[in-house]
Amino acid sequence: MLTFYNLIHTQHAARFEIFRGDKVPAFEKPERANGVADRLLLRRHVLRTPDADARAVMHQVHTPRYLRFLQTAWQQWVALDPSNAEREAFPSVWPVRSLRSDIEPTNFTGKLGLYSMDNGAPVLVGTWDAVKGGADAAHSAALAVSRGDSKAAFCLSRPPGHHAGADFMGGYCFINNAAVAAQTLLNQGAQRVALLDVDYHHGNGTQSIFYERADVLFISIHGDPRTEYPFYLGHADETGEGAGLGFNLNLPLPAGSSVAAWFGALEAACTRIAVHQTDALVVSLGLDTFAGDPISSFALLADDFTRLGQRLAALGLPTVFVFEGGYATAELAVNTVNVLEGFDMAVSVSV
């Protein structure tokens, strides 16, 4: 499997976050992707540098206003006060419900709040370069699969992307790499793309981007939003709107669900993808379904991730894997590579 590795992901490295009322070291950190890259090299995988510019595709899945802000946010932050160069920019206000979001404030604090769903995605000096590089990696992976260079490709980058919507960031996410990959596949001629999110947390940003579209079937298996982040999206009754009605499937599971329950949901997802007569598949590959993840509550173990890769291979589709969550850093590399090698092994057996 081809892997496109965004080497400059390390330019975004938040120092801390607020977790259950405490200021703690950030769970989303460079060691996550670095460990996966090391494991891939140890297993003799070849890592490629992204070779395509995703800028045009980014504008198809994100609004110009949001992208303009994100690209210049750090400069605006430092312009407020030169000493801000030593601080990370966290939002402190949010335009909920009756507050307006159609007018962009001129005040930076107001802008940052406008484009944030929470305080989990602070802006740093290297944030834009890191997330642009991630989009380039997703775009490159999708192009390689579209060209037939490989049956599957892996976009290895961070920060993750599936919580980022068309005009907002949050949950560690800024640019929606999975949406970039799906849009690239469409641009290259795919008529129907399925986007399967297996992260513990619902891909609210991805759902919102494609919710009124019929060219992307979005399916998410995740913790029940009544108790699990992101809380306000991901219920089973969300099935799409307008042209997208029937093209959104949420499979929420209670926190603590068994491995059998999770694979039952995966089987339902795979059945729906097959019925959809999909041309290509994008997988938002979150590995925080692991039993030892510090901020999640499912029960998968290392061998279960191999099984996941094998089941996805059985769909017989050109596939782009996009790295998302997973915060048990020591085990993350093994679990990630197990998915990819499980997929590759199943493909090689079927040929």
Q: Which residues are designated catalytic? A: 163
Which residues contact residue 274 at a Cβ distance below 8 angstroms, ignoring those fewer than 6 apart?
Answer: 315
Report H helices in the chain: 30-42, 55-61, 64-80, 108-114, 127-147, 177-187, 204-210, 259-275, 302-313, 329-350
Q: How far is the C-alpha of 302 from the C-alpha of 276, rounded, in Å?
A: 30
Closest CA to 204 of 239, 229, 237: 229
Which residues contact residue 59 at a Cβ distance below 8 angstroms, ignoring those fewer than 6 apart?
Answer: 67
Q: How far is the C-alpha of 85 from the C-alpha of 230, rounded, in Å?
A: 30
Q: Compute how many other C-beta atoms are within 10 angstroms of the C-beta atom of residue 116.
A: 22
Q: How far is the C-alpha of 337 from the C-alpha of 40, rounded, in Å?
A: 7
3-state secondary structure of 66: helix
Is residue 209 within 8 A of residue 61, CB to CB? The reply is yes
Largest CA distance in the chain: 60
Is residue 5 within 8 A of residue 48, CB to CB? The reply is yes
